[in-house]
Amino acid sequence: MDTIDKSAAGPHAATTAPSWWTRTCRALMRRETALSIGVLVVFLAAWEWGPALFDIPAYIIPPVSEVFAEFFRMITVDRLFYHVGYTAAEVIVGFALGTLLGMLIGYILGMSPTAEFVLSPYILALQIAPKVAFAPLFVMWFGFTVYPKILVAVLIVFFPIMVNVLGAIRTLDHDLVNLARSFNASRLQLFWKVEFHAAMPPLFAGLRIGSTLAVIGVVVGEMVGGNTGLGYLLVFGSGSANTAMVFVSIILLTLIGILAYVAVVWTERRVLHYIPARGAATGGI
Amino acid sequence: MSEPRLEFRDVTKRFPNRNRSAGEAESYVTAVKDVTLSVADGEVVSLIGPSGCGKSTLLNMGSGLDLPSSGDVYVDGERVERPNEHVAFMLQKDLLLPWRSIRENVEFGLEIKQVAPADRRERALELLDKCHLSGFADHYPHQLSGGMRQRAAMARTLAVDPSVLLMDEPFSALDAQTKMVLQQDLGETVSATGKTVLFITHDLIEAVALSDRVLVMSQRPGTIIEEFTVDLPDRSDPMKRRSHPGVAQYVPKLMSLLHIGEAAA
């Protein structure tokens, strides 16, 4: 009669699953992984020798070896890691604050249809406004400090988080609310025991988007004003016709974005462990 | 006879009519009209009626989630004005919270009532045992079959120890065999604990197999048009009652009351 779905990944699946190391080794041996690495090798080779082959000068596309050399030069001469740390810290703070604000406003608007009705036109207007356009304004307000960078990141991260949390609360099964009410739950209990958790899956969808947007916000802020961060190095390299420096900056910014994204996915797997076959749907990413 | 556990006195419920066409005078829809019914202590009463006849509205008023437009609802002699601890409901949907383990789901109502963690844990495990789910306390809802999930919902409903159970088609989403097993469990549990039940169903045989009395409702505006006592033995053993020859006399009667034959013709 009643059978349990053994294939579903549950809390017990973790104890019997192979270790991280075994899984990594197995993954590396897979054909698809080998092909994927092959693509990388081909790409790097094309980057190294392609430009010379087509007579593209190094100030347009510097070969990969030159970008590497520039990377090590920047470490010693330009305090590269100081700038990386600066940008990374701004991304983390901007992402965290944007997330908290988005959750807060999302939950508030979700619980109060009146507030949503009153505020939605303004929120929509702010959402449509290109957030990066605010960067020069924030620099005017706060000068060449970390604040304009963080503020742009907060603003840009805020929307996907808020919209997802709000949507989750709006579409919450009314019978679930009634169930809690029938047990005489207070408004606060309804929030902490039902609404808060119900909004988690959409919240994480928003966080995935937000983690990459935070990098954009910070870079734009840095490009507009100041003398720190990868955004600054990017503009500086561009201004001094140092294409390799621009490439290094772009690559490191991408790495920061990837780390932020992976951190979100890692957290998501732990928080949303109760959702079956989470990894499968995202291709393991 | 003792005072009824659950009582509806002249209850009418109207809702604002949102999709009213132009020229239509009435600005509200009457869902249920002048319903009077009472369920005695330990009695199981089934409510049958066509879709949209306001059965669920009655149930919401019984649990205090909705208030009547006129008339009164009483549970244990108290007028129902808000959700109260005498009543618990169970729906067709199991409404288990996916982020909670089965045990934590069963504890949900107790947690809201702020029962101490150790006590509610003990109570939850005891009920899971009764509902044949003892090995699944730490599983999550998605790991369980539909029947097991509904058992867990049953355990959650019983955990708060209500005197009245309001059930809205609790087994209608299950396959025929699982349904019979759960009906059997319900029959046994209800007679063992002496709970009072108002049971909404579409399943005529289910109504006859489980209840002491059957009420038939009309089309909207819903009102009770017929009431009869199920004069068969073995209410605590629905499987046995199902095979009783007497069941045959009730089903055609219900069919004609609900105009089921006419709809098919």
Is pLDDT above 60 for A166? yes
Domain ranges (residues) in chain B? 1-86+169-265, 94-161
Q: Check residue A12 and give its pLDDT.
A: 46
Q: What are phi and psi of B240, to 5 degrees?
A: -65, -40
Single-letter amino acid code for the residue at B194: G
Residues of A whose CB is below 8 A from B109: 183
Q: What percent of chain A has pLDDT over 70?
A: 90
With bands split at pLDDT 50, 70 and 90, how would you rate the model's confidence at B122?
Answer: very high
Place of tokens 């979700």: A110
With bands split at pLDDT 50, 70 and 90, how would you rate the model's confidence at A280?
Answer: very low
User: Do A184 and B82 make contact, defined as CB atoms within 8 angstroms?
Assistant: yes
Smallest CA–CA distance, residue B166 to chain A, in Å, is 11
User: Do B65 and A182 make contact, defined as CB atoms within 8 angstroms?
Assistant: yes
Smallest CA–CA distance, residue A1 to chain B, in Å, is 7
Which run of H or E residues covers position B33? strand B28-39
Which of residues 139 through 178 in chain A touch B, CB cutoff 8 A? 173, 175-176, 178
Q: Which residue has the higher pLDDT, B260 or B149?
A: B149
Q: What are phi and psi of B46, to 5 degrees?
A: -100, 150
Q: Check residue B226 and give its pLDDT.
A: 86
Q: Check residue A282 and give its pLDDT.
A: 46
Is pLDDT above 90 for A30? no
Burial of A15 per CB tally in 10 Å (0-12, 13-18, 19+): exposed
Helix (H, G, I), strand (E, B) or coil at A28: helix
Is pLDDT above 60 for A102? yes
Is pLDDT above 50 for A13? no
User: Do A176 and B97 make contact, defined as CB atoms within 8 angstroms?
Assistant: yes
Q: What percent of chain A has pLDDT over 90?
A: 67
Q: Check residue B25 and give its pLDDT.
A: 60
Q: Which residue has the higher pLDDT, B253 or B150?
A: B150
Angle at B33 between CA B30 and CA B36, to 5 degrees: 155
Residues of B whose CB is below 8 A from A182: 63-65, 83, 87-89
Is pLDDT above 50 for B203? yes
Angle at A114 between CA A108 and CA A119, to 5 degrees: 75
Residues of B whose CB is below 8 A from A3: 145
Tokens read off for A133: 């356009």
Q: Does B221 sit behind a cis peptide bond, omega within 30 degrees of 0 on the bond before it? A: yes
Residues of B with CB under 8 A from a CB of A: 60, 63-65, 82-85, 87-89, 91, 93, 95, 97-100, 108-109, 111-113, 136, 138-145, 147-148, 160, 177-178, 181
Report the residue of chain B nearest A12, measured CA to CA: B139
Strands B28-39 and B6-16: antiparallel
- From A262-271, B121-130, B158-167, B243-252, the region with the lowest mean pLDDT: B243-252
Question: What number does CATH give the domain B1-86+169-265?
Answer: 3.40.50.300
Tokens read off for A173: 């099964």
Residues of B whose CB is below 8 A from A1: 147, 177-178, 181
Mean pLDDT value across residues B212-218: 90
Q: Check residue A95 and give its pLDDT.
A: 96
Smallest CA–CA distance, residue B97 to chain A, in Å, is 8
ipTM score assigned to the predicted complex:
0.86
Q: Check residue A277 and give its pLDDT.
A: 65
Strands B70-75 and B6-16: antiparallel
Q: Does residue A15 belong to the interface with chain B, where contact is any CB pair within 8 Å?
A: no
Average pLDDT, chain A: 87
Testing the interface with A: which of B143, B145, B158, B183 to mutate, by most A Cβ within 10 A?
A: B143
Identity of the residue in B95, B136, B148 whose CB atom sits nearest the CB atom of A179: B95
Q: Check residue B39 and give its pLDDT.
A: 93
Kindly list the structural domains of chain A, giving each domain's residue range(s) and its CATH number in brackets, ordered by start: 10-56 (no CATH), 62-281 (1.10.3720.10)
User: Do B145 and A2 make contact, defined as CB atoms within 8 angstroms?
Assistant: yes
Alpha carbon B210 to its chain centroid, in Å, reads 12
